[in-house]
Amino acid sequence: MSDRSSPALPGRRGSRSDSMPVQPARPLALAGSRPPPPIISPSPAHPVSRPVWAPFPGRTWLPTLASLVVGGLLMRLLFGTFSDQGGGVGVAGLVLVSAVVVLAGRWVLRRRATPRSRAAVADSPPPRKEAAPLPPTDVERGIQAIRRADRGFQPTAFAGYAGMTFRDVQGARVARETGPLRDRLTPEMYAELGASCDGLRTAGRSVRVDEVDVGVEITEAWQDGEQDYVTACVAGTILGHTLDDATGRVVSGSRTKPSAVTAFLTFTRPAGLNFWRLSIIQEPSTTPA
């Protein structure tokens, strides 16, 4: 293993080469699975409260006019006899008395409505207090450090690149040829994958991969001097098997039953706008699904 103290000669995982990769916080969603559609429930209709004296929204002058007319008719009936006898109240007096009656009625209605509105305010729940923001996690701090030299770094796009690289490595094992991946692997990783393919040819074995269904999540991101590092967890299932070239017999895996796989892929690059290269694949478990 190369000297980790020198930024020009980083280890497979830099300063974290001796530590185990961080596990994802939650199970990963597989690429072939689709989340169920969200359930949208209709919001309950809230009845619009209207004053008892305002049946027509936006036309508050109608109740007042109607009240004046009714009040005028009542005053006419009550005092009409005196007016006909020559000593009664005139039209101006009737209008004045009607206006006083209307204003008094509206004042009484407002007084009755005021305690209800105050009670409604008293019964309303207090405003919710916003929770204090959580401190950034270790992976979020690492992403921020990487973005100082590469503002366009997107974890979601990188997770897609990690998943594609994992599938291409499986394809290289099937073809027993690593040439197309030379520029996407570090020299150490390229030599390791090449040795694996050479071992398959020497043993007379062939790998078949029919289906790869995995999800990807970035679990670590950090910097060592002038070197960026990102570790992605790839988890899901692989339908594949290994054949004996001479007999065609399945020596590992299954033709029909997929196997569960979890792998941690660590990528590195010189800090800044440089190409990411796969530096190591760690597979703690590969078991039947």
Instruction: Spell out the per-residue pLDDT of the chain, length 289, in tens.
Output: 333 333 434 568 999 998 889 988 778 777 665 554 555 555 555 555 555 444 444 455 555 555 655 556 555 655 555 455 555 555 556 556 666 666 666 766 676 655 555 555 556 677 777 878 888 899 999 999 999 999 999 999 999 999 999 999 999 999 999 999 999 999 999 999 999 999 999 999 999 999 999 999 999 999 998 999 999 999 999 999 999 999 999 999 999 999 999 999 999 999 999 999 999 999 875 444 4
Residue 32's closest CA among 240, 238, 289, 286? Answer: 238
pTM exceeds 0.75? no
Residues 214, 155, single domain; the answer is yes
Residues 100, 144, single domain; the answer is no
Residues 183, 236, single domain; the answer is yes
Residues 73, 150, single domain; the answer is no
Is 100 contained in some domain?
yes
Is 54 contained in some domain?
no
Residues 175, 80, single domain; the answer is no
Is 45 contained in some domain?
no
Residues 204, 244, single domain; the answer is yes
Is 273 contained in some domain?
yes
CA gap 230, 217 in Å, rounded: 11
Q: How many domains does the chain have?
A: 2
Residues 117, 157, single domain; the answer is no
Residues 79, 219, single domain; the answer is no
Is 65 contained in some domain?
yes
Residues 65, 204, single domain; the answer is no
Buried b (16+ CB within 10 A) or exposed e, 199-215: ebeeeebbbeeeebebb
CA gap 225, 149 in Å, rounded: 12
Is 263 contained in some domain?
yes
CA gap 279, 189 in Å, rounded: 5
Is 46 contained in some domain?
no
Contact 100, 78 (CB under 8 A): no
Q: For residue 130, count CB atoms less than 10 angstroms from its CB and return exposed for 0-12, middle for 13-18, buried for 19 or more.
A: exposed
Alpha-carbon distance values, 135 to 60, 141, 146 (Å): 55, 10, 18
Joined tokens for residue 87? 């000593």
Give the per-residue pLDDT at 127: 77
Contact 231, 264 (CB under 8 A): yes
Residues 27, 113, single domain; the answer is no
Is 262 contained in some domain?
yes
Domain containing 277: what range? 14-32+138-288
Q: 272: domain CATH number? A: 3.10.450.240
∠ CA(172), CA(177), CA(179), 5° rounding? Answer: 100
